[in-house]
Amino acid sequence: MRSHQTTLISLSLLPVLVLLLTNPSAIANAQQPQLRTDFYRTTCPNVESLVRSAVQAKFRQTFVTAPATLRLFFHDCFVRGCDASVMLASPNGQAEKDHPDNLSLAGDGFDTVVRAKTAVDSNPQCRNKVSCADILALATRDVVNLAGGPFYQVELGRRDGRFSTIASVQRSLPAPGFNLDQLISMFAKHGLNLTDVVALSGAHTIGFSHCNRFSKRIYNFSPQSRIDPTLNQQYAMQLRQMCPINVDPRIAINMDPATPNTFDNAYFRNLQGGRGLFSSDQVLFTDSRSRAVVNRFASSNAAFSQAFVQAMTQLGRVGVLMGNQGEIRVDCTRPN
């Protein structure tokens, strides 16, 4: 009887053994420690309240804290994974943050993380126990919530990366002129699907853009049409007024003309009305493959919030360093 049971157990393990033998990364994944929401339960139990207090204080000073921090998290995770490498400064201007695609990252996002790190490290129990990568992830959740968006549990346990190169940013971030195929392809590299693309694009419900990022859509879209035909004509004229030909490059335009300072689903209703600021926004509605998701989020803020939380959790797992793969930086802007 015992040998019969042993045979059954051995047979039941066969698929696992086949998986491990044919997929070496499965072995690595099985051994790799996982992110978890209570990672600092014994080392820094009040990390979340320490971060939140610092973020709230910064948010009260300027609303820009919210979109700046959220965008910083996205730009960090899409390049080398969520390892706070975007925070690292380079003496010769060769870090991620020096790449043209990152020069528009608002200083308020960096400042939010630095302040939260100072708050955490001012607690003797927590000093040098919490990574900058985790602080950025927590601060991102907090700014979303402070702006009116959902509160969600953040998985923790990331280590900070030791490297940051300007070259690694090249072709790693979505551009304002991307079509849906380009968006799907880039997000898929990070394990994100079409619903995630649409949900994460909903982050454009807050924040702003400089005119040069979309001026082609309102002035010289094509030989046939000066204005992008997918753009609401009235909205296009408003954008022309705000962004005249020789506009001051510092002028910023709200991504969401309806509720620019509220994290909500108005962004998706804007798309339905042809008021997506970037081509990469509007294409989510004009392309039939993603239109149904846009319509669902436009009609239900709860559906958008749920999908956004799911996508942010998935994004937060991208390329994370754990254990001795990384470090806990003493200063978020410099490797130890």
101-129 per-position pLDDT tens digit: 999 999 999 999 999 999 999 999 999 99
Contacts of 120 (CB under 8 A, 6+ apart): 44, 47, 50, 51, 126, 127, 129, 130, 135
Element (DSSP H or E) covering residue 292:
helix 288-299
- Three-state SS annotation for 40-54: CCCCCCCHHHHHHHH
The set of catalytic residues is: 75
Decide: 277 and 216 in contact? Cβ < 8 Å: no
Q: Is the dihedral of CA 53, 97, 210, 225 positive or negative?
A: negative
DSSP string for residues in 171-238: TTS--TT--HHHHHHHHHTTT--HHHHHHHHGGGGS-EEEGGGTHHHHH-S-SS-SS-TTS-HHHHHH
Structure confidence at residue 1 (pLDDT) = 52
Distance, CA of 322 to CA of 35 (rounded, Å): 8
Q: Is 140 annotated as a binding residue?
A: no
pTM of this prediction?
0.90
User: In the structure encoding, which two tokens stand for residue 149, read together?
Assistant: 């968006």
C-alpha distances in Å from residue 253, one per residue of 154, 214, 227, 246: 31, 10, 18, 15
Coarse DSSP helix, strand, coil percentages of the chain, rounded to the nearest 5 percent: 55, 5, 40
Taking the CA atoms of 275, 290, 283 and 233 in sequence, report the sign of the dihedral they define.
negative
62 among annotated binding-site residues: no
- Ranges of the chain whose pLDDT falls below 50: 2-3, 5-12, 16-22, 24-31
Q: Is 160 assigned to a binding site?
A: no
Residue 215 assigned ligand-binding role: no
313 is known to lie in a ligand binding site = no
**Cα gap 59→143, rounded to integer Å:** 7
- Cβ atoms 318, 77 nearer than 8 A: yes
81 marked as binding residue: yes
Residue 53 main-chain phi, psi, to 5 deg = -60, -45
pLDDT at 33: 62
Closest CA to 335 of 170, 169, 90: 90
* Per-residue model confidence (pLDDT) at position 45: 98
The span from the CA of 286 to the CA of 272, in Å, is 9
Q: Can you give the pLDDT at residue 23?
A: 52
Local structure of 321: helix, strand or coil: strand
CA distance 59 to 182: 34
Over the stretch 50-100, which tens digit does the pLDDT of each residue have?
999 999 999 999 999 999 999 999 999 999 999 999 999 999 999 999 999
Is 327 assigned a ligand-binding role in the annotation? Answer: no
N- to C-terminal Cα separation, the chain: 59
- Rounded to an integer, what distance in angstroms lies between the CA atom of residue 102 and that of residue 41? 34
What was the pLDDT predicted at 135?
98
Is 196 annotated to bind ligand?
no
Residue 83 annotated as part of some ligand binding site? yes
Cα 157 → chain centroid: 18
φ/ψ of 23, rounded to 5, equals: -135, 85
Residues written for the chain: 336
For residues 105-120, one letter each, b for 16 or more C-beta atoms within 10 angstroms of the residue's C-beta and e for the rest, the string is: bbebbbbbbbbbbebb
